[in-house]
């Protein structure tokens, strides 16, 4: 029975301490792990970005995007290897469509909000006339309190 390979996109969030040679070593380790399960890998990009929330007390991470071709049966073995690597904070594997090699970013449809009608008043509000001075108000309060 012939095994078919499928294309996947692998996104890894790596520890921000990985720089230069360490990052290259990790890429080499990932490519060796893929080769050990009879697959291929091609790295697209890597960039250091801030995280939305801290992961393992780290506020930044290196986002490594790559495309892998591997047999679906072998993905479980590869996932176990990813889980055991301490330098990989998080990872995500998405299966790519068979029709396109590149993933397409979906278009964002903007929804327009209908403007609400402005509330207009027929008569502008007029300030209430004052009912008296403070002395008059005190007299009225004393009368009310005296009745109680």
Confidence bin at 18 (pLDDT 50/70/90): confident
- CA-to-CA dists, residue 81 to 18, 31, 101, angstroms: 19, 12, 25
Say what the pTM is. Answer: 0.60
Q: What is the pLDDT of residue 111?
A: 64
State how far the Cα of 8 lies from the Cα of 146, in Å rounded to an integer.
Answer: 86
Domain 6-95: which CATH number of 3.30.470.20, 3.40.190.80, 3.30.70.60, 3.40.430.10 = 3.30.70.60
**Which of 23-27, 56-60, 94-98 is predicted least confidently?**
94-98
Question: Which pLDDT does position 124 carry in this prediction?
Answer: 63
CA distance 125 to 123: 6
In the DSSP assignment, the letter for residue 97 is: P
Among 17-26, 43-52, 65-74, 97-106, where is mean pLDDT lowest? 97-106
Question: What letter does residue 88 receive in the DSSP assignment?
Answer: E
pLDDT confidence band for 133 (50 / 70 / 90)? confident
CA gap 56, 135 in Å, rounded:
68
Domain ranges of the chain: 6-95
Q: What is the pLDDT of residue 2?
A: 47
Percentage of residues in the chain having pLDDT higher than 70: 74
């Amino acid at each position: 029975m012939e095994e078919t390979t499928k294309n996947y996109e692998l996104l890894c969030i790596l520890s921000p301490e990985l720089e230069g040679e360490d990052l290259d070593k990790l890429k080499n380790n990932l490519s060796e792990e893929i080769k050990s399960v009879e697959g291929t890998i091609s790295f697209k990009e890597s960039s250091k970005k801030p995280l939305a929330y801290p992961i393992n007390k780290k506020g930044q991470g290196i986002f490594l995007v790559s495309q892998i071709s591997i047999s679906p049966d072998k993905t479980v073995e590869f996932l176990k290897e990813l889980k055991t690597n301490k330098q990989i904070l998080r990872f995500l594997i998405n299966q790519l469509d068979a029709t396109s090699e590149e993933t397409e970013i979906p278009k964002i449809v903007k929804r327009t909000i209908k403007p609400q009608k402005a509330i207009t008043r027929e008569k502008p509000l007029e300030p209430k006339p004052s009912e008296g001075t403070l002395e008059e108000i005190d007299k009225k309060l004393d009368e009310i309190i005296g009745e109680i």
